[in-house]
Structures are given as C-alpha cells and as structure tokens.
Amino acid sequence: MGRGVGLWGVRPYARSMTGYEVLNVGAPDAWRSHVGGFDVFPLREGRRVVDHEMDMQYIGMTVNSLVAGEECGYWHKHSATEELYIFLAGKGQMGLNDDVVDVVAGSVVRVSPETWITWRCDPSEAKELQWICVRSGGTDLPENPTDAAVDFDRAMPW
C-alpha cells in the first residue's frame, strides 16, 4: 500500500483535482465501522488514517472512535512529530507521560515530540469517544502564515 492509496489499493471516496483533493470520511457516528491502522500497529475498528488515502505531504490525520472501556493498548512517542487531538464527542482520558488528563467534546490537546501518550474511552461512557488527530513535524510553523498570497480584489465564487 503506497502513500495516497487506501487499504485495498484504491481511493473509494477521494476525488483528486488540480491543487487539492476532497475525501468524505463520513459523519463521526459512522467512523466506528471503518477498520484501519498504520503498518507497524494492528488494524482496529474506529481508526481511519486519512493521509493513507490522500496525497498529504506535510501533515497527517486520523479520525478515530472508541467505545466504552476501549483503549489504545500501547504507549507511544514521536521523535519529531507534534500531534493535535481534537475531541468531538464522548468522555475519556489521555495518559501523557506521568499524567492522566480527562478529555470531553471540545477538548484540544497538543502533544510535543518525545511525550509518551496513550488514551482510552471512559468505561462508564455511553457515547463513543470521537476525535481527530492531526500530525505534523520537521519544521517550525511561523506565527503567521507568511507564505500566503492575499487577493482582496478576486470575486467570491458564490
């Protein structure tokens, strides 16, 4: 399976266009039915590795869903990758080095490189713990996007 190719060697939902791609990952309540993962970790229900389905160059992203009591099952840390976890529904905990941090819908957690991390859905939670994880690394982001070109005169398309 190469970059930009889905689990079965196809992009069933992606439509590649000049300069951008569109992929519908479905509503968060449908994420649980997807089975996905990384090459070094086992596949599991509720994980979709978006950057395996799109030609992403500088960022990675997963959409995730766990049921009550389900957990990551391992600790991990990155040497150069920073991660941002954006929680959309449910209640759970993240293990961050020696700390346990409660997370709920609306929680946003940034994880620096070299931070040990794991997570779980609270065992008493009726809702699935649903989140997006965005990964990036290698170069510092500027405070302001100074590489942007701005055109105030261009007509809006709608």
* Percent residues over pLDDT 70 in the chain: 79
Residue 52 near residue 3 (C-beta atoms within 8 A): yes
Q: Does residue 14 have a pLDDT over 80?
A: no
pTM for the full predicted model: 0.81
Q: Lowest mean pLDDT: which of 35-39, 71-75, 111-115, 141-145?
A: 141-145
Domains present along the chain, CATH in parentheses = 15-137 (2.60.120.10)
Q: Lowest mean pLDDT: which of 2-16, 60-74, 81-95, 114-128?
A: 2-16
Binning the chain into helix, strand and coil, the percentages to the nearest 5 are: 5, 40, 55
Q: Does residue 7 have a pLDDT over 50?
A: no
- Give 46-101 pLDDT, tens digit per residue: 999 898 888 888 888 999 999 999 998 888 898 888 999 999 999 999 999 999 99
E strands within the chain? 15-17, 20-22, 35-36, 44-45, 47-49, 59-66, 81-89, 91-96, 99-104, 108-111, 117-121, 129-137
Rounded CA separation 88/39 (Å): 26
Place of tokens 């990384």: 38
E strands within 7-54? 15-17, 20-22, 35-36, 44-45, 47-49
